Structure formats: C-alpha cells, structure tokens
Amino acid sequence: MALPFSHRSDSFMTDFQAVRRQLCKLVNAEQVEILMGSGTLASDAIAGQLALLCQPGLVLVSGEFGRRLIENANGAKLFFHILEIPEGQAFQPADLEQELKAHPDIAWIWGTHCETSTGVLNDLEMYKAVCDGRGVKLCMDCISSIGTVPVDLAGVYLASGTSGKGLGAASGLAMVFHNHDFEPAPDDLPCCLDLGRYQAAQGIPFTVQPSLVHGLQTALQAHDWNERFEDVRDWSKSIRRKLAEIDAPILAPDSCAMPAVVTIALPALHSSEAIGDTLKDHGVHISYRNNYLLERNWIQASMMGPEHHRPAEKFVRLLKKELAR
C-alpha cells in the first residue's frame, strides 16, 4: 500500500506550485490562492477582502448565483448597492454606467461571469472596460466559466473558481485569483478566509488534501483547452438548434447564452421534477433537483465535468415526447 503524501513534503510543494502556475496560465491571472472547500468558501474569502477596503460596492444580480453573492456580502457586513435585472438577461454597459453615475461612491463591483441558473454568460470584457474607466475594482464569480469558455482575468481584482464544474476534477478545492499582493489581516478576518496568510505561506498555511490537488493537476493536464472550448461551443450550437426545432422554451437568447449550460423554462402544465425523473429513468441525467430550479419549473442540460461528449439527440428526443403529453 502506498504511503499517503504529506502536504508539507518537498515533492508535494513542487506539485502544488505547478498547479497554481497552470491555473494562472489558463485564466491569465498573476496569482491564485487555493483553499480547502467549495466555491462558496471562495466567495466568502472575496467578501473578506472587500470588507478590508471599507468602501461601498455594487452587487450584480440576474439569477440565483447573483443572489448568493448578496448572502456572501451580507455575511461579511459589507455596505453595497444591488443592481438586479430579469432572469435570462445579461447586463449591458448602460446598466452599470447608470448605477455608477447614481452612486459615485461605489468602489467595487461583484457579479457572476456565468449566471449558471439561467444559462447566461455576461460580458467580462465589457465589465472590465466599464470598471477601468471609472477606477472601480471588479470581482467575478467564475466558478462555472473557468474550464468551459475562455476566461481572461487580466485587470480583474478578485475572481473565484473551483476544482469541480468546468475543470472536471473532484469538488473540494476553492480558488481565488488575484493580480495584486495580499497582506495578512489576523485581527480582521477568520484564519481560513485570510488570503494574506495563504500568500505569506506560499499557498499552504493550513492542511490541504494532496489527493484533491493531484486530481486537479491531472484534470488540468488532460485537456487541450482550446479544443475543450471548441467542443463546448459545438455542443451548445447543436443542442440549442435541436431544442429550437421542438419549440422548447430556452431561457437565455443566443446573444448571451453560456455555451456549457442551457436552461429550459417549462410551461406550467409540465412538471420539471416529473420530466427530470423520466429522463433519469432513461439514462439521461440533467439538472432539475436544485431548489431554485424546482421553484421555477426549470430544467438544465450542461457540459461540465470530466465527460468529453454529451450527445444531445436522446435528451431532445425524450424531451419532445414529454412536452407532447
């Protein structure tokens, strides 16, 4: 039996730093801190850093995961405004400009790159341009976009990621990308959220699970990422075309569609839970059991995780049959 790796061993430290470099190269960020936990922990760590600024901000909401950022911000006792648009839409430059004009004290903006609940991909480059023009710090939830679409975090203040979702490794590692240095804040932040402590300890101030790190390393090395992004785009075009052919009510328009996720807003006469159960019984696994999906009678098909190909034909054929009932 192989002996377990120590997270303090020289060999593991070499692998850990290699993973950090690979992650930064993938998203064009200068640095990344890796925490043991879910993407929510990464958001809490971002909220902690924003709390240190002692300045008001703006949280962007267009779906369930934008609303979760409000919870992260409230938990850190941040002062912030909220800009909310209807679900299924993407933010436009005028939306942000109007809010920044109305509240010139806004020092940071925090929103989702991919609003996973609705299948919308917001324009990261637009966000960066607006924030740069106003001297506002931009923070992004990139948990579902990293590994599924090209992500360029140059100029972004803080961004969250996770080992699951698009990167296709096991869940359990949270990431915060940054392009500036942190200072430890032991008097102001809980230990596990103090990103300055991580940076000061070369990324490992506390125990980290080597098996999760090595699993992430394997996932990062397994892909030609340009091919991966092209596969996701091709899957998106195919499944959206097939769904349109059966008049399935896709929530996000093509203009702002997230390639890796398609959300279908079922009419009231159909049950998302019943259709999801039926598809599962036929070997087609979709997302439908999350509370926010059940509440809205939505179902989702996605291309995340380690699977390289997700054939759309069977899903669409079965869905067409269910919608005809």
pLDDT at 4: 56
- Average pLDDT value for residue range 69-92: 98
pLDDT at 2: 44
Beta strands in 37-119 (DSSP E): 57-61, 80-84, 108-112, 114-115
d(CA 159, CA 175): 8
pLDDT at 157: 98
pLDDT at 98: 97
pLDDT tens, position by position, 19-39 = 999 999 999 999 999 999 999
Distances (CA, A) of 10 to 7, 13, 14, 117: 9, 5, 6, 41
Query: Taking phi first (over 0 means left), then psi (-120 to 50 degrees means alpha), and beta for anything else, what does residue 54 get?
Result: left
What is the pLDDT of the chain when averaged over all its residues?
A: 94
Could you tell me which CATH number the domain at 10-222 has?
Answer: 3.40.640.10
- Average pLDDT value for residue range 46-62: 98
- Average pLDDT value for residue range 190-216: 96
> Is residue 3 scored above 60 in pLDDT?
no
Instruction: Please name which of 88, 148, 84 lies closest in space to residue 118, comparing C-alpha atoms.
Output: 88
Q: Global pTM?
A: 0.94
pLDDT at 6: 67
Instruction: Please name which of 83, 86, 85, 123 lies closest in space to residue 99, comparing C-alpha atoms.
Output: 83
> Chain-centre distance of CA 24, in angstroms?
16
CB 276 within 8 A of CB 299: yes
CB 109 within 8 A of CB 60: yes
pLDDT at 8: 72
SS3 310: coil
pLDDT at 308: 47
Residue linked to tokens 């436009």: 92
Half-sphere exposure of 221 (CA within 13 A, CB side): 10
Domain boundaries, the chain: 10-222, 225-323
User: How much of the chain, in percent, has pLDDT values that exceed 70?
Assistant: 96
> Is residue 305 scored above 80 in pLDDT?
no
Shared fold status for 10-222 and 225-323: no
- Average pLDDT value for residue range 130-145: 97
pLDDT tens, position by position, 216-243 = 999 999 989 999 999 999 999 999 999 9
Domain 225-323 matching CATH 3.40.50.1820: the answer reads no
- Average pLDDT value for residue range 308-322: 83
CB 108 within 8 A of CB 67: no
pLDDT band at residue 312 using 50, 70 and 90 as cut-offs? confident
- Average pLDDT value for residue range 58-67: 98
Sign of CA dihedral 146, 149, 150, 155: negative
SS3 150: coil
d(CA 257, CA 277): 26
